[in-house]
């Protein structure tokens, strides 16, 4: 299981503004270990799925060009206090993480 | 015999459960486009139609990025029926950075932080109502973000 996702969500009327931080190395596969001279294998998040009360509102597909410890922000309509927001990621090694918050 | 059948059934059910979860959670990622080394190839892989430069697409990136390892990018648009927002860094080893698929519930604005190996044109392509719209901007990078 990967590191937990830090989610900050703010309701403005019926719009939920979401910021998420996902601690992850996001290794692109082009870096070289300076001690061994060996290339550092790719290790990066490929998919992020954001769900509002179980319905997908945004899916992000990522390449190796997303920065280490990825940050993303997005917003969606039709939200109210008490609703659930869930964010999942999965990386190229098959590892994954899920976090959930209640909107307020 | 009976025991064997039960064991087989159990392992089949487990396999089905393991396979079913990711399929249900995630739509298909355009893996080929993410592996392409040329921005033109990414565009022809992903967007099956003409792309129009549009002032209804707003691309917010810094003019100068002091640290190429962390370059903030925000894309927003006044277009309606937005289906996806993609971000490309033309000079990166693999230009496609991210593709966001939106739902009718989405506000068409996304932010992410990306790596830039060197100064480059950053391009965003928005798919809205089945058509493609883009905006681009050059970002000068002082220290590249791909090396050690």
- The token pair at B52 is 């129009």
pLDDT in tens, B25-52: 446 899 999 999 999 999 999 999 999 9
Share of chain B above pLDDT 90, in %: 76
Write down the domain spans for chain A. 6-28+40-102
CA-CA distance, A100 to B16, in Å (whole number)? 26
User: Considering only CA atoms, which of A89, A93, A54, A49 is closest in space to residue A69?
Assistant: A89
User: Considering only CA atoms, which of A54, A73, A5 is closest in space to residue B60?
Assistant: A73
> What domain range includes position B105?
29-143
Is B17 a domain residue?
Answer: no
Chain B residues close to A47, C-beta within 8 Å: 26, 29
Question: Is the CB of A65 less than 8 angstroms away from the CB of B71?
Answer: no
Q: How far is B109 from chain A (nearest CA, A)?
A: 6
A30 touches chain B (CB under 8 A): yes
CB nearest B27 (choices: A34, A59, A64):
A59
Q: How far is A18 from chain B (nearest CA, A)?
A: 10
Is B2 a domain residue?
Answer: no
Query: What CATH class is the domain A6-28+40-102?
Result: mainly beta
- Determine the residue of chain B that is closest to A79 in CA distance: B105
- pLDDT class of B146 with cuts at 50, 70, 90: low
Q: How many domains does chain B have?
A: 1
Task: Compute the residue count for chain B.
Answer: 148
Is B5 a domain residue?
Answer: no
* Model pTM score: 0.87
ipTM: 0.95
Residue B148 has pLDDT above 80, yes or no: no
- pLDDT class of A1 with cuts at 50, 70, 90: confident
- pLDDT class of B2 with cuts at 50, 70, 90: low
Is B16 a domain residue?
Answer: no
Chain B residues close to A80, C-beta within 8 Å: none
pLDDT value of residue B22? 45
Chain A residues close to B93, C-beta within 8 Å: 28, 30, 64
Question: Is the CB of B98 less than 8 angstroms away from the CB of A65?
Answer: yes
pLDDT in tens, B56-79: 999 999 999 999 999 999 999 999
Is B74 a domain residue?
Answer: yes
Is B18 a domain residue?
Answer: no
CATH at residue B119: 2.60.40.2470
Is B9 a domain residue?
Answer: no
pLDDT value of residue B64? 95
pLDDT in tens, A58-100: 999 999 999 999 999 999 999 999 999 999 999 999 999 999 9
Is B95 a domain residue?
Answer: yes
Chain B residues close to A77, C-beta within 8 Å: 105-107
> What is the rounded average pLDDT for all residues in chain B?
88
CA A54 to chain CA centroid, nearest Å: 16
């Amino acid at each position: 299981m990967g590191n937990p996702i830090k989610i900050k969500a703010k309701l403005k009327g019926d719009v939920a503004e979401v910021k998420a931080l996902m601690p992850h190395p996001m290794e692109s596969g082009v870096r070289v270990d300076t001690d061994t001279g060996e290339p550092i294998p790719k290790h990066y998040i490929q998919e992020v799925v954001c769900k509002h009360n179980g319905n997908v509102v945004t899916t992000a597909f990522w390449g190796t060009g997303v920065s280490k410890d990825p940050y993303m922000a997005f917003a969606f309509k039709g939200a109210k206090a008490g609703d659930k927001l869930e964010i999942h990621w999965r990386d190229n090694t098959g590892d994954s993480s899920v976090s959930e918050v209640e909107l307020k | 015999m009976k025991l064997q059948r039960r064991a087989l059934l159990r392992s089949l059910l487990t396999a089905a459960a393991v396979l079913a979860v990711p399929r249900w959670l995630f739509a298909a990622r355009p893996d080929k486009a993410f592996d392409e080394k040329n921005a033109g190839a990414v565009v022809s892989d992903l967007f099956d139609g003409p792309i129009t430069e549009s002032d209804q697409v707003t691309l917010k990136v810094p003019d100068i990025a002091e640290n190429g390892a962390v370059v903030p990018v925000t894309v927003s648009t006044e277009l309606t029926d937005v289906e996806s927002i993609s971000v490309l860094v033309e000079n990166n080893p693999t230009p496609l950075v991210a593709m966001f698929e939106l739902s009718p519930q989405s506000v068409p604005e996304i932010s992410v932080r990306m790596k830039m190996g060197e100064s480059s044109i950053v391009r965003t392509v928005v798919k809205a109502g089945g058509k493609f719209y883009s905006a681009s901007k050059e970002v000068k990078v002082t220290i590249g973000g791909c090396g050690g």
